[in-house]
Amino acid sequence: MRTNKESTMFARLILATSLMLALPAMADTPIDETRPLAADGRVSIENLKGEIVVRAWDRPEVHVTGTLGEGIESFSVAGSGSSLSIEVKYPKNGGGWFSGGNKSGPSLLEVRMPATASLDVDAVSARVDIAGLDGGRLSVDNVSGEVRVRGSRVSEARFDNVSGDIDAEIDSPDIAIDTVSGDVRLVGAGGGSLGLDTVSGSAGVELGEVRRVVMDTVSGDIELSTRLAPGGQISADSVSGGLRLRLPADTSARLAVETFSGGISSPVGQVQTERYGPGKRLQAPLGDGDGDIRLEAFSGDVRVELTLK
């Protein structure tokens, strides 16, 4: 499962590296475009390198300002009142990025959009900064650029990054995060599902409540602090990364922990060891045992904590 994903991510990371070698000069080519957009419309932004700043407002329109980098092929704002596409197009010179297209300078896009509209962002080495979304869907696809989200509430959030960090304070019942070596910080009310997949990046997650969580890591550490909804499920798998789960003391679930050579720490239950060879496991009820919690690691340590909150 990871082989195909890591191959794709590696190819994108090579592209990001080539972009970062480009000259940082910026041309004085200002942007100032305004288009109407419905409150429930969709905005798609594509800017491979530089910076993308998105702020929400209560107007039924999109306003784009900023500066185009040196050597940009074209800039366009296209679409209708229900869907707009904002694109900075870089030259490929026939042979793609590796034959000169990556020599263009980075571009800055500053976008104002309706708070309740949906947003798709596609970048490679651009820094992405988003704030104020309220109700639509959010998707951010990046490679090496940092992704930052603040003060937003969306129906669905998708983050895909390779080596860039993801720092999101966002409320959503449906969150999916996929990264290779970038670190993740996620804070929000939760209330629904979380999917988190990382290779070597560490992740710190604080969600008010969850119904379903699936987390996978190879060598990155994952920490999750949350409350499990009645009948909810938490599943986490690791190779060498540590797993740390922090729950309220009144949690109701069936707890199952298993490691091969890693340690297990839990305030409830008894750690059992294999009679022959390595291997540890722990099974214990929490409260009435309504939900399910399964934590597995090969050589990583697993720690469960119960708090008074």
Predicted TM-score (pTM) of this structure? 0.88
CB 212 within 8 A of CB 231: no
**Is the pLDDT reported for residue 277 higher than 80?**
no
17-35 mean pLDDT: 65
Whether 4 has a pLDDT exceeding 60, the answer reads: no
> For 136-163, what is the mean pLDDT?
98
Q: Tell me, what's the pLDDT at 91? A: 87
pLDDT tens column, 66-110: 999 999 999 999 999 999 999 999 987 644 444 444 678 999 999
pLDDT in tens, 187-230: 999 999 999 999 999 999 999 999 999 999 999 999 999 999 99
Given a contact cutoff of 8 angstroms between Cβ atoms, the answer to whether 135 and 154 are in contact is yes
Q: Where are the domains of the chain?
A: 183-308
Tokens of 209: 């409540």
Helix (H, G, I), strand (E, B) or coil at 143: coil
Collapsing DSSP to helix, strand or coil, 163 comes out as coil
Residue 103's closest CA among 200, 19, 193?
A: 19
Nearest CA-CA partner of 233 in 217, 250, 249, 256: 256
pLDDT of 16 reads 54
Tell how far CA 275 is from the center of its chain: 41
Nearest to 86 by CA among 39, 40, 53: 53
Instruction: Return the structure tokens found at 68.
Output: 């185009």
Q: Which of 5-19, 42-56, 68-82, 183-197 has the lowest mean pLDDT?
A: 5-19
Would you give the distance in Å from CA 93 to the centre of its chain? 33
Q: Which residues pair with 74 in a beta bridge?
A: 89
Asked whether 13 and 144 are in contact (CB, 8 A), the reply is yes
pLDDT surpasses 80 at 1: no
Dihedral over Cα of 171, 235, 142, 87: its sign: negative
Question: In the chain, pLDDT over 70 holds for what percent of residues?
Answer: 87
Answer with the residue of higher pLDDT: 289 or 6: 289
pLDDT at position 236 over 60: yes
pLDDT for the residue numbered 21:
46
pLDDT band at 308 (very low <50, low <70, confident <90, very high): confident
**What is the model's pLDDT at position 77?**
98
Token duo for residue 75 = 């800039």
Q: What is the DSSP string of 166-184?
A: EEEEEE-SEEEEE-SS--E
| pLDDT reported for residue 27 | 47
